[in-house]
Amino acid sequence: MNEMPRQVGDPRSAPTLSIASLSVAVRTPDKSTRRVVDEVSFTIDPGRMVALVGESGSGKTMIGRAVLGLLPPVARVEAGRIAFDGKDLARASEAELRAVRGREIGMVFQEPMVSLNPALTVGFQMMEALRLHHRLPAEEARKRSLEMLERVKILDPAGCFRAYPHQYSGGMRQRIMLASVLVMRPKLLIADEPTTALDALIQKEVMDIMAALTRDIGTAVLLVSHDLGMVANYADQVVMLRQGKVVESGATADILLAPKHEYTRMLLESLPERKASGDRRQASGETLVEIDNVSVEFRKKPRFFWQRPGVFRAVDKASLTLKQGETLAVVGESGSGKTTIGRALVRLAEESEGSIRFEGREVTAFDARSLAAYRLQTQMVFQDPFSSLDPRMTLAAIVAEGLRTLPGLARAERDRRAREMLAEVGLPGDYGDRHPHELSGGQRQRVSIARAIVATPKLLVADEPVSALDVTVQKQILRLFTALQEKFGFSYLFISHDLGVVEQIADRVVVMYRGRILECGTRDQVYDSPRHPYTLKLLAATPRIARTAEQGYALVRHAGEETPAPTGFAYFAGEGEPVMHEVAPGHVVALKAAA
Amino acid sequence: MRALLRRPNAIVGGVLLLVMIVAAIVGHVYTPYDPVANDLMARLKAPSSAHWLGTDEWGRDVLSRLLYGAGVSVSISLFTVIAAVGAGTLVGAATGYFGGWFERIAMAFLDALLAFPSLIMALGMMTVFGPSRIGVISALALAYMPSVARVVRGSVLSVREKEFVEASRVMGNSEPFTMFRHVLPNCVAPIIVLATALFGWALLAESALSFLGLGVPPPASSWGGMLSDSRNYVGQAPWLALVPGISISVTLLGINLFGDALRDQFDPRMKNL
């Protein structure tokens, strides 16, 4: 293979893409136009990665789409140049754009399942583009495709060639997507939130492959992302956007680690950070919830209705305790069972074995009446602020419903308390009369919280409550959680995949993997001296930006070392039965029983 | 209600429907001529001052038959739609929401009904019931109920997975409450759209049944019956086809406009549009 060497800082090489004073406007429903991209300029050199960073509504995705000529119908380029390979893509005809897309400019989107055709084999899709754009003979196209699959570290390239996209997990699909784009050896790759839908470990794998491969081939990368830690780790240059305007741009280290602009600084300050454990109000020490050896099973739909359904264990003999006034975080990747354990606790999922005790009483044996009483004590905050509120109801009605099962409350009283609670979460005045669609994501999440706490429960299960939010909004919501806990003394079961958020809010942390609990301890124990290799891997996979002592920022990566398992034992890795071993007071880790 | 009247769709649709309803009521109280009286001296007369909308092949006054038929046709379609949508919503919501064995059996039964051409099934039922208004209504309602149930079930299935439904459960609300408070109201849009379409189908199916001699027994008039009677005379007396045809179309237009407005009214997201 004749690969182009990386042309770092070569003054002779012209930039691959050069965007000058680009403005994009959208038509709003009331027929006026609004600029969503305003006079944006930047360049990308061959083999370099430039990240467009900003919160939702910053116009970062629009810029990527404008380069491809794939703007939505309501948007159009108002002014500016998109110079690529001697052409101005802002003024190119549809035919010219088609010739460039795929061949010269590749694209990777957030959802790999949508961008791969589920009805065609991986091989067919990879070869199709090669044969279409490069007019390669089938044999040659096949050879190149297989080679590329190998380079994105697909274990069995020939098998993958014959397989269909649905046979692969999200991370694998994103690698396949990457392979099928890069096999064309495009000059420019546009990656729009390519790993946002993936778990931390897989995110790192995909990004590592993408960075290395594009550097080898000499492909310039336009990375669109909201993840500051990831951008700091991979991008050469950063363009910081806010409401369509460039706030500042330059080398990554200059922008993210020594920010000059106020907005960048505010974003960085919004990143979750650890507070000393002494800052937090101490939990009372009384046990509120005990989950003991609980398993939750789901039936897999059989292929034919006369077959017995298969069983999938989402949670496998998990035990944990939650004290009054404490925040216990459950972390893990998707499929680890962290959500299911929360759902079992609020009785949205039925356990197949084990016991759940709330204030010493067995929850699993509750009849309808005690269940109704229990539900006033435990509430849930959901992940998706767009589907967790009934679109037909006013906010006051939504929140007031949380009081419906409380006996002896008149309708007017419920409404009054609902509005009070809305004010408590930062939605005062006439917000009660609005409908969910009039609110932003963060505001909706506030409503969801108000609904959960209006009947002052003792326990709140929060399932990824801030994952769908921008960092600045995320910070506000986390602060709200903390303030409410201080005021009302709630206990939280905080379910999250985001280790940064957990580090900020949790008192104790449980790490789950494939339905099992691998490690459990106080936040400091788990973050500072993780014992299980999996925990260590998770922590190392997510580099984050942290404030240094002297007003600056630094990219911090967890660099702990694997602690050997206690003598005679090995760490439990998902097979067989684990033995829970206490390595320090309150710090438990799963070991494999010695053979 | 006042908000509803601010929508142009609601006003136009409402006026058309009002005209229809007034015509249907008037037709049962007063008609210029006896709608079933033959006058063989005045066969196939074009519209004139004596017969505003002309006469048919038996010399019957078309306007009188139209007015009388309005009551027959509209009431048949209306009750068919009400019965089909009512039963279909109940069955569809129950199967969609509760699932399990109940769903399997109910859906198998509905699919069997659905597999039958609805007109054939209505025909079969009519031979059992004999031609009568109640017979037509129950036959058509049964024929249309499965498709309503399917649509409702589909949208219940999608709404059921929304987090606000789970939130309702976590708050301790009972299943029926959750169903009626959160799930069904969010399924209203497709139900209204389907109901307005059903109204048209029912109007046409009624005419098909009349045509086959299984609808409202002659000589009583219905729009469908008038339309099918007119087919031999379209060349000589086009008004015979045009008058009931236009009436059916205008009624459908009114229903559709009103249905759209109603659907938007129920959806707070559309309030300011």
Tens-digit pLDDT profile for residues A108-156:
887 766 778 888 888 888 888 888 888 888 888 899 899 989 888 888 8
**Are A442 and A525 members of one domain?**
yes
- The CATH number of the domain where A283 resides is what? 3.40.50.300
Kindly write down the DSSP assignment for every residue of B68-88, as one continuous string: HHHHHHHHHHHHHHHHHHHHH
Alpha-carbon gap, residue A96 to A91, rounded angstroms: 10
Q: Which residue in B12, B14, B6 sits closest to B273, CA to CA?
A: B6
**Tokens 């509504």 sit on residue:** A57
**Are A506 and A572 members of one domain?**
yes
User: What's the domain count of chain A?
Assistant: 2
Record the pTM: 0.81
**Are A414 and A538 members of one domain?**
yes
Question: Quick check: A379 and A452 in contact, CB under 8 A?
Answer: yes
A255 in a structural domain: yes
A14 in a structural domain: no
Tell me the residue type at B196.
T
Tell me the residue type at A60.
K
**Are A256 and A292 members of one domain?**
no
Query: What are the chain A neighbours of B167 within 8 Å (beta carbons)?
Result: 380, 382, 388, 448, 451
**Are A191 and A289 members of one domain?**
no
- Kindly tell me if the per-residue pLDDT of B144 is higher than 80: yes
Selecting from B162, B171, B186 the residue whose C-beta is nearest the C-beta of A401 gives B171
In angstroms, the separation between the Cα of residue B259 and the nearest Cα of chain A is 18
Q: What is the pLDDT of residue A1?
A: 37
Query: What are the chain A neighbours of B175 within 8 Å (beta carbons)?
Result: none
- What is the pLDDT averaged over residues A179-186? 88
Q: Closest chain A residue to B182 measured between Cα atoms?
A: A390
Interchain contact, B186 vs A392, CB within 8 Å: yes
ipTM, two decimals: 0.76
Q: Is the dihedral of CA A451, A455, A456, A460 positive or negative?
A: negative
Omega cis (within 30) before B219: yes
A478 in a structural domain: yes
Structure tokens of A34? 């609004």
Q: Which phi and psi (to 5°) does residue A23 adopt?
A: -125, 135
- B186 to chain A, any CB pair closer than 8 A? The answer is yes
**Tokens 């108000």 sit on residue:** A450
Q: Which residue in B128, B131, B93 sits closest to B110, CA to CA?
A: B93
Q: What is the pLDDT of residue A3?
A: 41
DSSP class of residue A56 equals: T
Tell me the residue type at A241.
L
Q: Closest chain B residue to A405 measured between Cα atoms?
A: B172
- A366 to chain B, any CB pair closer than 8 A? The answer is no
Q: What is the pLDDT of residue A329?
A: 95
Selecting from A380, A435, A437 the residue whose C-beta is nearest the C-beta of B170 gives A380
Task: State in Å, rounded, how far the first CA of chain B is from the last one.
Answer: 17
**Are A479 and A544 members of one domain?**
yes
Structure tokens of A426? 């930062």
Selecting from A375, A391, A448 the residue whose C-beta is nearest the C-beta of B172 gives A375
A195 in a structural domain: yes
Q: Which residue in A53, A40, A51 sits closest to A82, CA to CA?
A: A40
Say how many residues make up chain A.
Answer: 595
Interchain contact, A437 vs B169, CB within 8 Å: no
Interchain contact, A375 vs B185, CB within 8 Å: no
Report long-range pairs for A479-484 (Cβ below 8 Å, ≥24 apart). A480/A425, A480/A426, A480/A446, A480/A449, A481/A449, A481/A505, A484/A424, A484/A425, A484/A449, A484/A453
A11 in a structural domain: no
Structure tokens of A2? 């004749």
Q: What is the pLDDT of residue B81?
A: 93
Query: What are the chain B neighbours of A378 within 8 Å (beta carbons)?
Result: 170
Interchain contact, B163 vs A382, CB within 8 Å: yes
A-proximal residues of B, 61-120, CB under 8 Å: none
Interchain contact, B170 vs A379, CB within 8 Å: yes
Beta pairing, strands A327-331 & A508-513: parallel
In angstroms, the separation between the Cα of residue B105 and the nearest Cα of chain A is 13
A43 in a structural domain: yes
**Are A449 and A518 members of one domain?**
yes
**Are A281 and A243 members of one domain?**
no
CB pairs under 8 A between A and B: 62
Tell me which residue range forms the domain holding A428: 277-300+309-592
Selecting from A371, A392, A451 the residue whose C-beta is nearest the C-beta of B167 gives A451
A16 in a structural domain: no
Alpha-carbon gap, residue A355 to A290, rounded angstroms: 8
Does A592 or A282 have the greater pLDDT score?
A592
- A376 to chain B, any CB pair closer than 8 A? The answer is yes
* pLDDT, tens digit, 9 for 90 and up, residues A501-524: 998 899 999 999 988 999 999 998
Domains of chain B and any CATH numbers: 9-20+61-267 (1.10.3720.10)
Q: What is the pLDDT of residue A42?
A: 93
A56 in a structural domain: yes
Q: What is the pLDDT of residue A9?
A: 46
Interchain contact, A348 vs B169, CB within 8 Å: yes
**Are A293 and A222 members of one domain?**
no
Q: What is the pLDDT of residue A397?
A: 93
In angstroms, the separation between the Cα of residue A83 and the nearest Cα of chain B is 40
**Are A116 and A251 members of one domain?**
yes
- What is the pLDDT averaged over residues B176-196? 87
Interchain contact, A376 vs B172, CB within 8 Å: yes
**Are A285 and A237 members of one domain?**
no
- A434 to chain B, any CB pair closer than 8 A? The answer is no
Q: What is the pLDDT of residue B229?
A: 78
* pLDDT, tens digit, 9 for 90 and up, residues A315-369: 988 999 999 989 999 998 888 889 999 999 999 888 888 999 999 899 888 888 8
Interchain contact, B167 vs A388, CB within 8 Å: yes
Q: What is the pLDDT of residue B1?
A: 56
Choose the mutation target among A390, A398, A421 for the interface with B, i.e. most B CBs under 10 Å.
A390
* pLDDT, tens digit, 9 for 90 and up, residues A380-431: 999 888 889 998 899 999 999 989 888 888 899 999 999 999 999 999 888 8
- A451 to chain B, any CB pair closer than 8 A? The answer is yes
**Are A256 and A358 members of one domain?**
no
Question: Quick check: A512 and A295 in contact, CB under 8 A?
Answer: no
